[in-house]
């Protein structure tokens, strides 16, 4: 099919505002009378709050409000309501906010924070998930059994540190392992890591008279934020307006609700003056949430032929001090626990575990980058034990049309093609090509050994079974079309994709799509959240439906004016025309706000199309077996990597990464490839350096970009090759499915497998620092 | 304590008063209202606040405003002239050298300082000069392409 706009590399529509610095972020906003907020955070990972003395701080001129957990005690939590706005009675992680100040300027607020005196009584800390699940473990939350949650979806275990236990049972484990010729069991670890949006969390809030609340926030999910705010602070939804201007990256860390209630309560305490809070980089790192850590155990039973017959999986998620999105990550990684493989006998236990670490939240990949470290390393290790090529081993077990997933979901042609992805990347690095004798000799001389690794991936949006979205398209007087969706474009290019869909569907030039990059809940139509790689597929479908609705209205008016039946009419070049007599036409601008006859009679009215979409056919999963349909769409992919390990130093250089993602249909080639490269490099960060480190008391040590390194330009591989595989998703817009998170999944496993190929060392924990590689080489 | 300061920003002359401990970043954003320059870390570790001071790229969060006295500062607001984008700005859009846009002003100023010093840098020189500018969205490839393209445009 030939399209004008779909699939084309249209430059992003927010480009000009962003390259000129005119794009306004919350950081850049200012209101008259605005106050500035600072917070005081806990120096302990676990301690009782014995006394808070604010007397000196409140005497400081210019201080307008001071809050502690006494006033800001209300609890937040998207799935389990467990986190007080400010710590109450005790602190559960280093960096937890304990008190907050609003003052006339930032210096005064900072001085006031220093003057607040807090007495703590340190408690024993819990820093290891495997310790935390033991029956005699100390408790991070004594009251877990009484916390509000979503019944039938999440299963907290009262009196323990387990805030959710997802179970999946399929087939007969005993029989499966009995039939196996070989059983391989391994443990894998992934440390907590950071999102690192370049813009830290930023909020301005104004709590007006009559509880009219306005919030400007760097938030990914304005509607969910509004809803959670309303519940936590008992304010009606219609009183709360959330505005999201440009946001400087999210990666999951800006989903849900974080600082907004605190800033709003400060405004309330300061008689409704607007209050601005911009997290410092240190607060972004140590107070705001991170990605959870993982301890994984996988036991695989396999036939000599290479067919996997049984797999037993345990995922212990280090949620840190609060559950946040963590309980749903546990669930999502539970139902995709074995990766894109068909296995008949499976047992999965995935648990969210409280510790006294920084709390975790949603993060690009929603747990899948972590579990795929375990899954795809395990596949490599099993293949090695079998003495089988790991590509061949994977191909024997991968999902293909006719296969059934571990939740009982059938796979069709239109589900996507992981085998094609894997073969594409394997070809891309010349998998199976042996080193020449000269190359081997050179490796011995230099100590620099080359190796190749492959890994597959898959992920579906993890969301409630009824997550919905909507769109409105409205024609302006000149025939341009404004669209309105409440999903956020935080740089992923979603609005450009929406504009392309509208231009395509309504036959207008893309320049005539009116795109607004600020969203607010008072004006925008409903959207659940901008997470889970769901915007292109769900908002894309809603936008198409809105265009269809507008087309109906155009045909209705045109049918009257042109005296033609609907089936004789068509849209083209900013007009509606009679197919047989194309000169018989009405331009959009002639009917955008109603059509007027020469004598002054008018019909119609402003053209406004409405569209919606909701996840189709999903079910709640069975509590005991995990069976059901959790996936709106599966996006499959694969990476192959070639590395060179310097055995003299442990340094690993990435020579080449080849990535293939089956995204159904490319909407914008330039933007999607940019997003894929970005995800791949974010994955490289987790492979080479990123890791939160704590001392033995649970104090965070990696609190700056000096101690916590994300990739710079110097860390780029020599070559990155991206392949977009297009197996259309029948219910996706033009066949598209989401792929925002997927590029970063399995980068660590491809690299770990490549290091093993190069050197023979088997790594079980990320990241692969030179130190770790060197020590493993010299064990 | 307030101090008087005289300097040029994007060619315009300013006589202002500024607290003596203010950073150049604070002066630009909060006193002059030039919010195109972003604060990403406040510690000179991310490059989001990069501006050009007397021809050289600096992290404006680590320079006192008073250090720029009588100097020439160039910020992102001075890049487009008479409503026309500069070649770096055009190439960043054309090659998709940005996503969320938060690091972009600093990236462009860093690239500009590099091209002033070295109009035709190779890939390694671009990486070397711009490694202090962090970006979490793009994976840098498209940024490097944008700078290379702008450098080629210099030749033409």
Which residue from B minimizes the CA distance to A744?
B139
Chain A residues in contact with B122 by the CB 8 A cut-off are none
User: Which of A11, A20, A21 has the most B C-beta neighbours within 10 Å, making it the best mutation to test the interface with B?
Assistant: A21
- The residues with which A185 forms a beta bridge, in sequence order, are A299
Q: Which sign does the torsion angle of CA A132, A133, A134, A137 carry? A: positive
* Dist. CA A447–CA A652, nearest whole Å: 12
B85 chain-A contacts, CB cut-off 8 A: 16, 19-20
Looking at the DSSP assignment, which residues form a beta bridge with residue B2?
A: B19
Q: Would you state the pLDDT for residue B155?
A: 54
Q: For residue A467, count CB atoms less than 10 angstroms from its CB and return exposed for 0-12, middle for 13-18, buried for 19 or more.
A: buried
**Residue A616's pLDDT band (cuts 50, 70, 90):** confident
Q: Residue A484 and residue A516: Cα distance in Å, rounded?
A: 8
**Residue A725: left if φ>0, alpha if ψ -120 to 50, beta else—which one?**
beta
Instruction: Summarize pLDDT for A274-289 with one digit per residue, the tens.
Output: 999 999 999 999 999 9
Residue B156 has pLDDT above 60, yes or no: no
Q: Do residues A266 and A372 lie in contact, with contact meaning Cβ atoms separated by under 8 Å?
A: no
State whether B89 and A19 contact (CB < 8 Å).
yes
The pLDDT assigned to A666 comes to 98
Q: How far apart are CA A466 and CA A439, in angstroms?
A: 56
Estimate to the nearest angstrom the gap between the alpha carbon of A241 and the chain centroid.
24
Instruction: Answer left, alpha or beta for residue A493, where phi above 0 means left and psi between -120 and 50 means alpha.
Output: left
* Radius of gyration over every alpha carbon of chain B, rounded to an integer in angstroms: 15
What ipTM was estimated for this complex?
0.98
- Which chain B residues have a beta carbon less than 8 Å from that of A682? 136, 139
On chain B, the residues whose CB falls within 8 A of the CB of A716 are 127, 139-141, 144
Question: Which residues on chain A are in Cβ contact (under 8 Å) with B142?
Answer: 674, 677
- Backbone dihedral region of A749: left (phi > 0), alpha (psi from -120 to 50 degrees) or beta? alpha
Tell me whether residues A678 and B139 touch, CB distance under 8 A: yes
| Percentage of chain A modeled with pLDDT above 70 | 100
> What is the Rg, in whole angstroms, of the alpha carbon atoms belonging to chain A?
27
Residues of B in contact with A489 (CB under 8 A): none
For residue B2, the surrounding DSSP H or E stretch is strand B2-9
| CA dihedral for A271, A272, A278, A282, sign (positive or negative) | positive
User: Six-digit token pair at A366?
Assistant: 């929603």
CA-to-CA separations, B155 to A321, A571, B96, B125, B151, in angstroms, rounded? 56, 45, 21, 17, 7
The CA distance from B6 to the nearest CA of chain A, in Å, is: 24
Helix then strand count (H, E) for chain A reads 19, 31
Question: pLDDT, tens digit, for every residue of A620-653?
Answer: 999 999 999 999 999 999 999 999 999 999 999 9
For chain A positions 268-287, those within 8 Å of chain B (CB to CB) are: 278, 280-281
pLDDT of residue A422: 98
User: DSSP assignment of A65-131, as one string?
Assistant: EEEETTTS--EE-SSB--EESS--SEE-STT-EEEEEEESSHHHHHHHHHH-EEEEEE------HHH
Res A1: pLDDT: 72
Token pair 């990684």 in the structure block, residue? A333
Nearest CA in chain A to B102: A248
Identify the CA nearest to A170 among candidates A321, A46, A348.
A348
CB nearest to B79's CB, from A15, A20, A25: A20
Q: How far is B19 from chain A (nearest CA, A)?
A: 12
Q: What mean pLDDT do residues A101-105 have?
A: 98
Determine which of A10, A18, A278, A672 to mutate to test the interface with B (most B C-beta atoms within 10 Å).
Answer: A18
Give CA–CA dist A36/A47, Å, rounded: 28
Name the residue among B105, B126, B141 with its Cβ closest to that of A677: B141
Shortest CB distance from B43 goes to which of A251, A281, A682?
Answer: A281
Q: Is the pLDDT of residue A486 over 90?
A: no
Closest-CA residue to A429 (of A406, A451, A397):
A451
User: What percentage of residues in chain A have a pLDDT greater than 90?
Assistant: 99
**pLDDT, tens digit, 9 for 90 and up, residues A684-740:** 999 999 999 999 999 999 999 999 999 999 999 999 999 999 999 999 999 999 999
Name the residue among B89, B135, B144 with its Cβ closest to that of A198. B135
Whether A198 sits inside 8 A of B96 (CB atoms) is no
Are A535 and A738 in contact, with CB atoms under 8 Å apart? yes
Could you say which of B37, B77, B102 has the minimum Cβ distance to residue A248? B102
Both tokens of A402, joined, read 């006719």
User: What pLDDT, in 10s, does the model give residues A508-544?
Assistant: 999 999 999 999 999 999 999 999 999 999 999 999 9
In A456-485, the residues whose Cβ lies within 8 Å of chain B are: none
CA A111, CA A120: separation in Å to the nearest integer? 21
> What is the least distance, in Å, from the CA of B31 to any CA of chain A?
12
Q: What gap in Å lies between CA B66 and CA A687, rounded to an integer?
A: 42
Determine which helix (DSSP H) or strand (DSSP E) holds B105, and give its type and residue range: helix B104-117
Among B32, B44, B141, B144, pick the best mutation site for testing chain A contact (most A Cβ within 10 A): B141
A11/B96 touch (CB, cutoff 8 Å), yes or no? yes
Across A356-360, A527-531, B32-36, least confident range: A527-531
Q: Which residue from A677, A714, A720 is facing B131, i.e. has the nearest CB? A: A714
The span from the CA of A110 to the CA of A584, in Å, is 70
- The shortest C-alpha distance from A649 to chain B (Å) reads 22
Distance CA A112, CA A59 (A): 9
Best to test chain A binding among B2, B123, B137 (most A CBs inside 10 Å): B137
Mean pLDDT for chain A overall:
97
Q: Which residues, in sequence order, are CB contacts of A699 under 8 Å at separation 6+?
A: A43, A45, A94
- H-state helical runs in A387-490: 390-397, 418-428, 437-446
3-state secondary structure of A159: coil
Q: Is residue A707 within 8 angstroms of chain B, CB to CB?
A: no
Q: Which chain B residues touch A12 with a CB distance below 8 Å?
A: 93, 96, 98
For residues B136 and A684, what is the distance between their CA atoms, to the nearest angstrom?
Answer: 12
Task: Say what the pTM is.
Answer: 0.98
């Amino acid at each position: 099919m030939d399209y004008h706009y779909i699939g084309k590399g249209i430059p992003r529509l927010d480009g000009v505002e962003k390259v000129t610095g005119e794009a306004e972020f919350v950081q850049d906003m200012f209101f008259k009378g605005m106050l500035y907020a600072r917070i005081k955070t806990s120096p302990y990972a676990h301690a009782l709050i014995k006394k808070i003395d604010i007397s000196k701080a409140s005497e400081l001129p210019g201080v307008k409000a001071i809050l502690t957990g006494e006033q800001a005690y209300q609890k937040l939590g998207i799935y389990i309501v467990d986190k007080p706005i400010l710590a109450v009675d005790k602190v559960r992680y280093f960096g937890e906010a304990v008190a907050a100040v609003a003052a006339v300027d930032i210096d005064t607020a900072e001085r006031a924070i220093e003057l607040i005196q807090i007495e703590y009584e340190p408690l024993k800390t819990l820093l290891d998930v495997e310790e935390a699940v033991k029956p005699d473990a100390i408790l991070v939350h004594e009251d877990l059994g009484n916390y509000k949650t979503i019944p039938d979806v999440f299963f907290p275990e009262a009196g323990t540190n387990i805030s959710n236990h997802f179970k999946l049972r399929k087939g007969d484990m005993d029989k499966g392992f009995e039939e196996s010729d070989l059983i391989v069991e391994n443990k894998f670890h992934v440390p907590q890591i950071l999102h690192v949006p370049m813009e830290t969390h930023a909020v301005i809030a104004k709590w007006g008279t009559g509880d009219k609340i306005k919030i400007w926030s760097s938030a990914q999910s304005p509607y969910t934020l509004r809803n959670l705010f309303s519940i936590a602070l008992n304010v009606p939804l219609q009183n709360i307006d959330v505005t999201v201007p440009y946001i400087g990256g999210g990666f999951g860390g800006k989903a849900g609700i974080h600082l907004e209630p605190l800033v709003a309560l400060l405004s309330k305490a300061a008689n409704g003056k607007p209050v601005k809070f911009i997290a410092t980089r240190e607060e972004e790192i140590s107070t705001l949430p991170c990605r959870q850590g993982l301890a994984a155990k996988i036991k695989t039973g396999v036939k000599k032929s290479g067919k996997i017959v049984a797999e037993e999986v345990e995922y212990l998620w280090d949620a840190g001090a609060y559950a946040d999105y963590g309980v749903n990550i546990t669930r999502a990684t539970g139902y995709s626990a074995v990766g894109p493989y068909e296995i008949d006998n499976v047992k999965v236990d995935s648990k969210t575990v409280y510790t006294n670490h920084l709390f975790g939240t949603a993060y690009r990949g929603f747990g899948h980058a972590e579990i795929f470290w375990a899954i795809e390393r395990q596949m490599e290790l099993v293949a090695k034990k079998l003495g089988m090529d790991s590509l061949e081993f994977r191909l024997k077990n991968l999902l293909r049309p006719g296969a059934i997933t571990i939740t009982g979901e059938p796979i069709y042609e239109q589900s996507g093609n992981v085998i094609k992805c894997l073969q594409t990347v394997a070809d891309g690095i010349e998998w199976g090509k042996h080193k020449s004798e000269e190359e081997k000799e050179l490796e011995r001389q230099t100590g620099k050994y080359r190796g190749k690794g492959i890994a597959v991936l898959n992920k579906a949006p993890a969301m409630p079974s009824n997550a919905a979205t909507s769109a409105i398209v409205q024609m302006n007087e000149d025939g341009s079309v404004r669209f309105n969706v409440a999903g956020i474009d935080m740089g992923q290019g979603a609005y450009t994709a929406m504009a392309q869909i509208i231009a395509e569907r309504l036959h207008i030039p893309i320049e005539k799509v009116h795109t607004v990059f600020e969203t607010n809940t008072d004006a925008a139509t409903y959207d659940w959240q901008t997470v889970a790689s769901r915007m292109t597929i769900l908002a894309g479908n809603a936008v198409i439906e809105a265009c269809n609705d507008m087309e109906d209205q155009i045909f209705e008016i045109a049918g009257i004016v042109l005296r033609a039946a609907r089936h004789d009419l068509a849209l083209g070049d900013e007009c509606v025309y009679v197919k047989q007599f194309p000169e018989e036409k009405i331009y959009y601008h002639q009917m955008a706000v109603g059509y007027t006859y020469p004598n002054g009679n008018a019909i119609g009215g402003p053209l406004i199309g409405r569209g919606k979409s909701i996840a189709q056919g999903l079910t709640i999963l069975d509590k005991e077996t995990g069976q059901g349909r959790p996936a709106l769409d599966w996006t499959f992919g694969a990476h192959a990597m070639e590395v060179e390990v310097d055995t003299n130093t442990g340094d690993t250089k990435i020579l080449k990464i080849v990535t293939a993602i089956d995204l159904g249909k490319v909407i914008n080639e330039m933007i999607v490839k940019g997003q894929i490269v970005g995800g791949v490099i974010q994955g490289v960060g987790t492979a080479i350096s990123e890791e939160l480190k704590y001392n033995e008391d649970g104090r965070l040590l990696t609190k700056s970009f000096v101690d916590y390194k994300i990739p710079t330009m110097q860390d780029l591989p020599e070559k990155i090759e991206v392949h977009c595989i297009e197996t259309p998703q029948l219910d996706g817009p033009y066949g598209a499915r989401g792929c925002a998170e997927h590029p970063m999944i399995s980068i660590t496993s491809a690299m770990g497998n490549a290091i093993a190929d190069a050197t023979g060392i088997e790594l079980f924990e990320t990241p692969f620092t030179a130190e770790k590689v060197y020590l493993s080489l010299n064990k | 304590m307030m101090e008087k300061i005289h300097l040029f920003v994007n060619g315009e002359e300013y006589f202002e008063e500024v607290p003596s401990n203010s950073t150049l970043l604070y002066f630009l954003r909060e006193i002059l209202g030039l919010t195109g320059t972003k604060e990403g870390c406040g510690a000179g570790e991310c490059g989001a606040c990069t501006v050009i001071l007397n021809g050289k790229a600096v992290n404006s969060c680590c320079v006192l405003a008073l250090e720029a006295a009588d100097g020439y500062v160039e910020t992102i607001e001075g890049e487009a002239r008479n409503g026309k984008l500069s070649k770096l700005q055009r190439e960043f859009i054309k090659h998709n050298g940005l996503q969320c846009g938060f690091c972009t002003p600093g990236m462009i100023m860093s690239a500009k300082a590099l091209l002033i010093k070295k109009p035709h840098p190779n890939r390694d020189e671009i990486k070397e000069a711009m490694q202090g500018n962090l970006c979490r969205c793009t994976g840098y490839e498209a940024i490097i392409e944008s700078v290379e393209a702008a450098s080629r445009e210099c030749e033409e």
